[in-house]
Structure 1
Amino acid sequence: MSTDSNTAWNTGTSTARHDGEHWLLSLVVPVKNEEDNIQPFLDAVLETLTPRVPALEIIFIDDGSTDQTLPMLRRLGTADQRIRYLSFSRNFGKEAAMTAGLEASRGDAVVPMDVDLQHPPEAVLEFIRHWRDGGWDMVYGVRMDANAETTGKKATSSLFYRIFNRVSHTDIPPSAGDFRLLSRRVVDVLGQLPERNRFMKGLYAWVGFRSIGVPYHQPARLHGNSRFNYWKLWNFALDGLVGFSSLPLRVWSYLGGGLAFCSLLFMLWIITRTLLFGIETPGYASVMSAILFFGGVQLLSIGVLGEYIARLFIESKQRPLYIIAEHSDDQA
């Protein structure tokens, strides 16, 4: 759906079908090499949600798994019509996987969640209560603890949220992740956002709508270890900052102006001193210090420009965000 840049999107076309007793909940679950976690996840989700939800679909997005994840999803999808799956042609990343799941969802409400049971199914029931009784379009989970995270990871995560909210016009609630309930009209609006460099936490906040946080306790991961190392988290944070703030670009204008003003004052001081006291041989250390400092500033500023230009380059190619190699509907 394309719109003129000066025209607001119409978000009132989706009807609130959940007013009655017949509504559908969609769970969007990205997976990569999670063969040990899928069955325990299903057991916990079905036991908790089936008695309380009129209709349920669980959409797994296989993000380039190399173990038995995809064959397992095939078997589960054949045995239970509530289970659907998409399989990517390669690994496209969690943000692309969540986008694919949201686009494939059919539910009146959609909940993205992890397969490792760090997002407890019991919290989904609380999300549903706020959505149905309070009319909230977005109910996001707020971690009360993070048992599986190291002290360093907690500290860097907290620092990222503070920096992001300081430099961006879009505020992300601290400790809020991808675990949340989205109403159908929020999902429809997210589907209209075309960018390839997707930072979903920022997009959730950018679209607005009535939102409320619900605290939950995050248990330890059931099997395996998280695949988000510090390097991936750094790049993830960089995508978020560059995608939602132009301050890294603007700061160099202020820094350049400040340095130019200081240089002018230093030049006037040198001229005055020369006129009053004569010529003095400049020191090698001071000259080299100035050269290295300004050279470093220039390289750093070029690097910041490169980050933005690289993202413009990716967007300009208009490649699809993901490629689906196999779909559960193909097996029907």
Structure 2
Amino acid sequence: MAKLSLICPCYNEAENLSAFCEHIFVVFADIIKTYPQSAFECIFINDGSTDSTLSMLCALQNMKSDLQNNAFLLPPPPAECEIKIIDFSRNFGKESAIYAGLQASSGDCVALIDVDLQDPPSMLKDMFAKWHSKKADVIYARRISRTGEGFIRAKLSQCFYMLSNLISAVRLESGVRDFRLMDRQVVNALLKMSEYHRFSKAMFEWVGFKRVGLAYEYIPRTQGSSGWSFWKLFKYAIEGFVSFSTMPLRIAFVLGLVMSVLSLGYGCYAIISTLIFHNAVAGWTSLVAWIAFLGGVQLIILGIIGEYIARIYEQVKSRPIYIEKQPRDTKD
């Protein structure tokens, strides 16, 4: 008997939840036809949603015992599927939701998928089949085109992957999604990585294991809008650079060394020009510009060092990665 745990982070996904459940429950039924002894658990993480996402998830969970309680017209989960809900006390972000889902999972294999249906749930059948036949420990989805994305956003994404692979020993493949299925031993390895600042894309690569990729075309979002703004993507990129590479610190050292050598050379030139050739010191404008430039370089170097120190500071405080909100007891 094989059990599949499906982790579904949710942030204001009320418009997509019903369609997602309909698709994923059909996939579960298809898997059971091929592998009759299979069982499932859907772990929904409500990441501080402000819409009716939590109410819909609770209704879905209650349908296991009361099929009449279906005010949101949700499709009933199959008998082989257990519904679990993790309700965050606030919005902690997708990385925290993934970590919470991995902790709560109990399956022999664990899959991650977004609820917005931009990743095809039907691919889960092929992932499960490859895992069941022991062809791979990690089966991931890779989008082969960026059709539908803005030109600037697509180019910036390509630049991120190029720069990340240049400065980090962990190689990231462009187009790889969080949508994947992993063996239990892979999940256990990921849970041993207790970083407060988590960058799952690189963590999935860092742990290793045998991997297989499945390609698919871009699927537009049917409902709602993406919560990933340019600013959030920029912060996420910085997280990736700092979390899995010390190259920025080396670049800062080399940059400081080069500036010191250039400054020393310029100082020697000014002294020789004045004492030997009796040239008057001139160029106040260029001198001010040079001082301003050096000041900017120093601030950049301090900023790079500060990013690493800030992560050390937040890690040693040992704050929880997320806080789960428990339902209130309504009894007197």
Q: Report the counterpart of residue 263 of structure 1 in structure 2.
A: 263
Between 1:87-96 and 1:270-279, the stretch displaced more is 270-279
Are positions 1:75 and 2:59 aligned together?
yes
Aligned positions of 1:4-43 closer than 5 A: 22-43=1-22
Instruction: Report how far residue 306 of structure 1 moved.
Output: 1.3
| Separation of aligned partners in 2, 1:274 and 1:186 | 68
Instruction: Report how far residue 147 of structure 1 moved.
Output: 4.2
Q: Report the counterpart of residue 120 of structure 1 in structure 2.
A: 120
Are positions 1:52 and 2:36 aligned together?
no
Code of the aligned partner of 1:43: E
**Residues 252 and 304 in structure 2, CA contact (< 8 A), matched pair in contact too:** no
Q: Report the counterpart of residue 100 of structure 2 in structure 1.
A: 100
Instruction: Report how far residue 164 of structure 1 moved.
Output: 0.7
CA distances 1:95-138 after superposition (whole Å, capped 9, x unpaired)? 00011011111111111111011111111122122222243111
Code of the aligned partner of 1:312: I
**Residues 147 and 220 in structure 1, CA contact (< 8 A), matched pair in contact too:** no
Q: Report the counterpart of residue 202 of structure 1 in structure 2.
A: 202
Give 3-state SS (helix, strand or coil) of 1:214's partner: strand
**Residues 120 and 218 in structure 1, CA contact (< 8 A), matched pair in contact too:** no
Give 3-state SS (helix, strand or coil) of 1:116's partner: coil
Instruction: Report how far residue 183 of structure 1 moved.
Output: 0.6
Between 1:94-103 and 1:217-226, the stretch displaced more is 217-226
| Separation of aligned partners in 2, 1:165 and 1:26 | 31
| Separation of aligned partners in 2, 1:217 and 1:24 | 29
**Residues 110 and 181 in structure 2, CA contact (< 8 A), matched pair in contact too:** yes
Q: Report the counterpart of residue 221 of structure 2 in structure 1.
A: 221
Give 3-state SS (helix, strand or coil) of 2:276's partner: helix
Are positions 1:308 and 2:308 aligned together?
yes
| Separation of aligned partners in 2, 1:100 and 1:171 | 25
Q: Report the counterpart of residue 287 of structure 2 in structure 1.
A: 287
Code of the aligned partner of 2:238: L
Aligned positions of 1:49-198 closer than 5 A: 49-53=28-32, 54-80=38-64, 82-198=82-198
Structure 1 runs (4+) greater than 6 angstroms displaced: none
CA distances 1:11-59 after superposition (whole Å, capped 9, x unpaired)? xxxxxxxxxxx20111110001111111110001111232214212111
CA distances 1:201-221 after superposition (whole Å, capped 9, x unpaired)? 111111111112111223111
Aligned positions of 1:232-247 closer than 5 A: 232-247=232-247
Q: Per the alignment, do residues 29 and 147 of structure 1 end up closer, same or farther by CA in structure 2, a change over 3 Å counting?
A: farther
**Residues 145 and 175 in structure 2, CA contact (< 8 A), matched pair in contact too:** no
| Separation of aligned partners in 2, 1:146 and 1:105 | 32
Code of the aligned partner of 1:229: S
**Residues 27 and 124 in structure 2, CA contact (< 8 A), matched pair in contact too:** no
Q: Which runs of 5+ in 1 are unaligned?
A: 1-21, 328-332
**Residues 50 and 56 in structure 1, CA contact (< 8 A), matched pair in contact too:** no
CA distances 1:262-319 after superposition (whole Å, capped 9, x unpaired)? 2222222223322332031322111101110111111111111111111111101101
Using structure 1 for the length normalisation, give the TM-score. Answer: 0.89
| Separation of aligned partners in 2, 1:218 and 1:180 | 16
**Residues 130 and 136 in structure 1, CA contact (< 8 A), matched pair in contact too:** yes
**Residues 146 and 219 in structure 1, CA contact (< 8 A), matched pair in contact too:** no
Q: Per the alignment, do residues 253 and 260 of structure 1 end up closer, same or farther by CA in structure 2, a change over 3 Å counting?
A: same
CA distances 1:112-169 after superposition (whole Å, capped 9, x unpaired)? 1110111111111221222222431111111023444222221111111111111011
| Separation of aligned partners in 1, 2:114 and 2:164 | 24
**Residues 202 and 240 in structure 1, CA contact (< 8 A), matched pair in contact too:** yes
Between 1:37-46 and 1:210-219, the stretch displaced more is 210-219
Q: Per the alignment, do residues 326 and 145 of structure 1 end up closer, same or farther by CA in structure 2, a change over 3 Å counting?
A: farther
How many residues are treated as equivalent by the alignment?
306
**Residues 140 and 177 in structure 1, CA contact (< 8 A), matched pair in contact too:** yes
Code of the aligned partner of 2:24: V
Give the % identical residues. 39
| Separation of aligned partners in 2, 1:147 and 1:26 | 31
**Residues 171 and 205 in structure 1, CA contact (< 8 A), matched pair in contact too:** yes
Give 3-state SS (helix, strand or coil) of 1:325's partner: coil
